[in-house]
Structure 1
Amino acid sequence: MNQPPSRQPTPATAIPAASTPAEARKLAEELMDVMSALLGIIERETELVRAGKIREAMAFEPQKTEASRRYVGVVSRLKASHPYLAKTSPDLLSTLRRHHETFRAMLQVNLTV
């Protein structure tokens, strides 16, 4: 009797981590860019909601979805890069942490609307 071939779980796709100072800087810039873009979209959306223009605010959904996808990707790479950044660029990591805390606070204010 033949047994079906065993299925090996597919390994998770490795998230590329920064391993050079240039990659660390690029990652930091990407995070800052995507946070700014996402906040800009949400702020415009919030202004429209406050003005009662719900349909116009809903038009931002595709942009917000794409910016959110990019944000999650950059944060995943940042997490994968944390050991390298902690060792080689603690000041950069600290700065990113402060900016991210500000981003989260601003995001919370806008999401409250």
Structure 2
Amino acid sequence: MDQLITVIEAETELVRAGKLAEAGELQPEKANLVSVYMRGMTFVRDHAVALGNLAPGAVEALKRRHGEFQPILRVNLAVLSTAREVSDTLMRKVAEGAGATRAPTTYGPAGTAPRAPTLADGISINRSL
């Protein structure tokens, strides 16, 4: 769980700093650690009575650590959700801008006939944002 928390906190900080490519590089490690965590939690759930009888102190420590993990995970999910929302909004605005120039018009400025529509221009994305 400690390794998973470390990776999640690192991902949160990278996304907050706008270093999305670096945050993406953590994904394979994060996926592996989540898998290990889920298997461990399934084992604990399936053997809760035996673990409670054999190692009550360890069970309490695990509950405490799990309680500390939840707020860290909530912050991470909020940061990722915000980054996704910003990205979606940006792409929507770019698409609206590109589409707006191709909208047909009846008359141009000063009553002149409109020019033929031009092909869409290329779109550039700054990945450092």
Classify the TM-score, shorter chain: 0.5 to 0.7
Matched, 1:57 2:23: yes
2:34 aligned to which of 44, 64, 68: 68
Q: TM-score, normalised by structure 2?
A: 0.56
Instruction: Using the TM superposition, give the Cα deviation of residue 111 of structure 1 relative to its aligned residue in structure 2, in angstroms.
Output: 2.2
Instruction: Using the TM superposition, give the Cα deviation of residue 112 of structure 1 relative to its aligned residue in structure 2, in angstroms.
Output: 1.6
Number of the residue aligned with 2:76 = 110
2:26 maps to a residue whose letter is: F
Instruction: Using the TM superposition, give the Cα deviation of residue 81 of structure 1 relative to its aligned residue in structure 2, in angstroms.
Output: 1.6
Instruction: Using the TM superposition, give the Cα deviation of residue 59 of structure 1 relative to its aligned residue in structure 2, in angstroms.
Output: 0.8
Q: How many residues in Structure 1 have an aligned counterpart in Structure 2?
A: 79
Number of the residue aligned with 2:45 = 79
Instruction: Please tell me the root mean square deviation across aligned C-alpha atoms, in Å.
Output: 1.3
SS of the aligned residue for 1:52 comes to coil
| Greater RCO structure (CA 8 Å; 6+ sep) | 1
Number of the residue aligned with 2:58 = 92
1:84 maps to a residue whose letter is: A
Deviations 1:33-88 (A, max 9, x none): xx111111111111111111111111111001000000001111111220102223
Q: TM-score, normalised by structure 1?
A: 0.64
Distance 1:79 1:40 in 2: 24
Distance 1:105 1:47 in 2: 15
Distance 1:36 1:107 in 2: 13
Unaligned runs of 5+ in 2: 80-129
2:18 maps to a residue whose letter is: G
2:59 maps to a residue whose letter is: L
Identical aligned residues as a percent: 37
Matched, 1:43 2:46: no
SS of the aligned residue for 2:47 comes to helix
